[in-house]
Structures are given as structure tokens and as C-alpha cells.
Amino acid sequence: MLSLFYIVVCILSVGAEPPRPSVKRLHEATATVLHSDLLQNGYVRIKEVLGSDEALTWGARIYSATMKQTSSCPVVSSTSSIQHVESCKGLSGPSFIRGRQLEEVDRVISYLTNSPDLARIAAQVMNVSRVRLYQATSFIKHPGDAPSAWHQDAAACPLHTDKLITIWLALDHVPPEAGPLIFARGSHLPNVPEPSLRDLSPGDRLASMKKWTTSEVKNLTGLSITRPLSLSPGDATLHLGWTLHSAPPNTGEKPRKAIAITYFSDGARVHPDLLSLKEGRSGGSNDDASDGSKGVAFKGEDGNNLYVQLLEDDYQTWKEWLHKRPSILIPGAPVRDSVLTPLLYDVLWDTAPGIPI
């Protein structure tokens, strides 16, 4: 009896781990329909990926970690919001607050960002058998924050693949006025004119990135633009890496809380034009890097000065690779296995005995 009492006291003193996310399971028929819609439109919506109460709990945790992470960054106050300064996190403008690698602030967040069950949804909707993590980013848009620029996630991604998908998970009530994502239907397909950058080389993509209005995107591409959806906590939209998307301003009265988790199909290759020798720059160490208008220069493992075709914003995600493990980025080769790109889901795990997920 005394032993049992001691065990209970120890558990209470250490603190129980919060439950891992209870993610919705997709039936095979539902996944097939979603995959078809994704191929046609470039995006899909899935309701109740997480339960509402659970999503709200994660939202509070992620909001707290994001604000803690960005508290050391310079901010400016407006009459109705706190806005991110461009130089702090490499944003294209002070339109929202972004949190990266929040697991370093709160390790429990990794239960969500590295969830095999969420990764399963990404794999099912893309119709692939294995997916790895690309990045996980929180997006907080306070009341009064401006629209997010139209862009394609894959335009500045080092991978040469169409199998890149983002789950954008609502962590609070996101009515249309709060600024949920909007999409250009079919913009993920080839031969779509600019502002689609899919058919351009990495260097030309960066040089061609501009700020496009919604009417310009519609007129130049000839594609229809979706209306802002009303999302409940736990609802999600999924979009491909080449899908043009944006988010309207938050004209509501509450912060818009969301996390975007991006996955890529295992075996995806590094873009063959990603890295090139950079002339006119010498010295420095692996921690030296200079951000240019068309990419980032850094010193590789062999001492050569290299140039990577990445926007500074994406460089924030990839700098760990570029500085510490650039050997995992070999042009034309599959991305090497690393803690930065864990394998989160393999379809065999659903059938192999003794492998928990």
C-alpha cells in the first residue's frame, strides 16, 4: 500500500504528459475522393481533423510558445495588433507572426508536429506510401494585420518534387473575417502563367517573385479564387506546394491561430540547380552566410563558397542544413535521412505487427 502511495506521489510530482493528438482517421474511399479533388483543384478541406476542444488546447499552447519565441524580436504596436518587424523573422512584411521550431520552446508541441497520424492524412491525400517532415510553422494573425502575399510554398523549396503538401490546421474559430487561406483553383498545374512560378528555374523564380493582388492573380492566370472558408477549431485545409494561396487581413476581433505542417514524399530529390559555386567570397566558417536578393551564400563542408537558390525566409528553415549538415543537400540526389527530416509515416506501419504509431 505504501509502495502504491509512493508511485502516485512520484507521478504527481513529475507531472503527467498531455495526451497525444487524437487525429481523425480517413476511410479509404474518403481518401480517394480527397486525392482526386487535390489533383484537380490543388487544395482540399477536411473537417474535424482534431476535436474542437483538443484543437483549442493546442491553440493556446502554440500561441503561448509562439509569443514567447518572438518576444525577443522587435515589434511595433498598432491600434489593434502586434505586428512582426520584417527584419526579425524574414517575413515579406509585418502582416503576421510566425513561429518556427516551437519544439525548442515547448517540447510537447512535437507531439503534434511529428504526429504519425497527421502524416498519414498527408500521405493518403497525396496517395504516397511514405512522408517526411519538411517544416512546421505557426501563423498568428492579430486583428488589424494585413493580407498575406500570394505565393507558392514550393517556389523557394530546395526539393524537386510535386509531392509536397501542407496541412493548415485551425487552432481556434477562424471565420472568414479572421483571414483563413484562399486558393487559386488549379494553380498547381503546369503551364499556368505568372504569378505561378512552377515552370521557372530556381534562380528565375526568386527574381520573378512580386506582390500580386488577388484581382491580378485572377486576371493573369484566368483561374477562379476561392472565398474564405469558415473553419472550426480542428478543421484543416491541405494544399500542394505549387498551389497559389494567400490569406486576407484579419478584420475580426480575435487572433487567428493556426499551424501549418508541411510534408514531402520520401525519396524526393534535391533540385539539381539548387547549389552553385559562389565567386568573390572567401574566408568565414559554416556559420557565415550572407543573404542576397536571389538567394543565400554560405561556406560548404569542403571549404568552397556555395550559393543556394533560396529566399531568406526559407533560409531560416534550412540554415541548420546549410551550416551544419550541407552534405544532406546533394543536387539531384534524394534528401538524406536526418533528424531534420524524420520519416513520420510509412504505410507498412499500419499492417506490420509490433510497430506502434
All structural domains of the chain, each given as residue ranges with its CATH number in brackets, are 18-268 (2.60.120.620), 275-342 (no CATH)
Check residues 157 and 33 and name the one with the higher pLDDT: 33
Whether the per-residue pLDDT at 72 is higher than 60: the answer is no
Give the burial string for 223-242 (b: 16+ CB within 10 Å, else e).
Answer: bebbebbebebbbbbbbbbb
Containing 221, the helix (H) or strand (E) segment is: helix 214-221
Q: Is a pLDDT exceeding 60 seen at residue 48?
A: yes
- pLDDT tens per residue, range 147-206: 999 999 998 787 899 999 999 999 999 999 999 999 999 999 999 999 999 998 877 776
The per-residue b/e assignment along 86-118, b for 16 or more CB within 10 angstroms, e otherwise, is: eeebbbeebbbbbbbbbbebeeebeebbbbbbb
**What would the grid cell of residue 207 be?**
527574381
Grade residue 136 by pLDDT with cuts at 50, 70 and 90: very high
**Distance of alpha carbon 14 from alpha carbon 248, whole angstroms:** 44
Average pLDDT over residues 349-353: 78
Residue 274, CA distances (Å) to 201, 267, 269, 332 in order: 9, 17, 11, 9
Q: Are 145 and 217 in contact (CB under 8 A)?
A: no
Which whole number is the average pLDDT over 266-270? 90
Measured CA distances, 302 to 286, 299, 319, 326, 352 (Å)? 10, 8, 17, 10, 42
Distance, in Å, from the CA atom of 116 to the CA atom of 352, rounded to the nearest integer, reads 15
Output the pTM of the full model.
0.82
Tens digits of residue pLDDT in 85-128: 333 443 344 478 989 889 989 999 999 999 999 999 999 999 99
User: Per-residue confidence at 218, pLDDT binned at 50, 70, 90?
Assistant: very high
Measure the CA–CA gap between 102 and 317, rounded to whole angstroms.
Answer: 12
Distance CA 139, CA 262 (A): 13
Cell of residue 140, nine digits: 498568428
The cell 515589434 sits on which residue? 75
Mean pLDDT, residues 242-263: 96
Name which residue leads in pLDDT, 42 or 327. Answer: 42
Instruction: Please check whether residue 145 is in contact with residue 84, taking contact to mean a CB–CB distance below 8 angstroms.
Output: no
Mean pLDDT of 9-28: 66
pLDDT category at 60 given cuts 50, 70, 90 is very high
From 120, 107, 105, 127, select the one nearest 32 (Cα to Cα).
127
Burial of 26 (0-12, 13-18, 19+ CB in 10 A): middle
Q: Cis before residue 74, ω within 30 degrees of 0?
A: no
Amino acid, single-letter form, for residue 177: E
What was the pLDDT predicted at 261? 97
Higher pLDDT, 147 or 316: 147
249 and 198 in contact (C-beta within 8 Å)? Answer: no
Q: Is the pLDDT of residue 255 over 60?
A: yes
Task: Select, from the ranges 31-45, 139-153, 195-209, 337-351, the one with the highest average predicted confidence (pLDDT).
Answer: 31-45
Can you give the pLDDT at residue 119? 98
Determine the Cα–Cα distance for residues 153 and 156; give it in Å rounded to an integer.
7
Query: What's the pLDDT at 204?
Result: 78
CA nearest neighbour of 93 among 235, 249, 237: 249
User: What is the percent of the chain where pLDDT is above 90?
Assistant: 57
Q: What share of the chain is helix, strand, coil (3-state, %, to 5)?
A: 30, 25, 45
Mean pLDDT (whole number) for 276-295: 43
pLDDT of residue 210: 83
Q: How far apart are CA 14 and CA 35, in angstroms?
A: 44
3-class DSSP state of 209: coil
Assigned C-alpha cell, 82: 502586434
Of 9-13, 251-255, 344-348, the poorest mean pLDDT is in 9-13
In total, the chain counts a number of residues equal to 357
